[in-house]
Amino acid sequence: INRLGFNNDGVDALVRNVERARRRNGLLGINIGKNKDTPNESAEDDYLHCLRKVYGLADYVTVNISSPNTAGLRELQEEQSLRRLVGTLRDAQERLASQHGKRVPVLVKIAPDLADADIDAVARVLADMDVDGVVATNTTVSRTAVQGHRHAGEVGGLSGAPLMGQATLVLRRLRARLPESIPLVGVGGILSGADAVAKMAAGANLVQCYTGLVYRGPELITECVDAMRRRKES
């Protein structure tokens, strides 16, 4: 369970750090979100500011509207709010693509705690907006999977193995409702190669690991890659 929120030194500090790290391999994804004291009515201003700052440095940008640790943030997943925010960012993305001479994919990261009807509404908006991808999911505020645990009453977002089932259900529902042209990134509860394969079976095109790296270390990556390769070859 973490409750860190978006504590950081700001987007300008991030840009300086990235620019200093001139030699890097692989892809760099940059996660953007609004300040905790920015009202939701003005949230798009924060997202636009961050998108403009990081666009030239990122290989992809994730629009985080699903952290449970920033009060009110998840309200941005409501259909009309989401349509307005994503529409604004898509317009900005196209302008930035012309300015920078490259198109940087923008993905939207959603919560695992949405009701089925809300998932359907999110899928409608993201399909209409033709987003570059969806990250499913963030951490959960539910404690159903850890009832009775001595830390279950702690505030914050629950990650790791207890998140696997619900996050994968949301992933599967999104895959059934989004066009195949919109890739899904499966996140939440991957602690083994079998878990990564389960995400792929539910419709993920890519997977991400976070908490699993804490408990398993770098070997988890090799295990996941091997398992997914075996699935592809079978």
Catalytic residue among 42, 67, 81, 234: 67
3 state SS for the chain: CECCCCCCCCHHHHHHHHHHCCCCCCCCEEEECCCCCCCHHHHHHHHHHHHHHHCCCCCEEEEECCCCCCCCHHHHHCHHHHHHHHHHHHHHHHHHHHHHCCCCCEEEEECCCCCHHHHHHHHHHHHHCCCCEEEECCCECCCHHHCCCCCCCCCCEECCHHHHHHHHHHHHHHHHHCCCCCCEEEECCCCCHHHHHHHHHCCCCEEECCHHHHHHCCHHHHHHHHHHHHHHHC
Q: Does the annotation count 67 as an active-site position?
A: yes
Residues marked active site are found at: 67
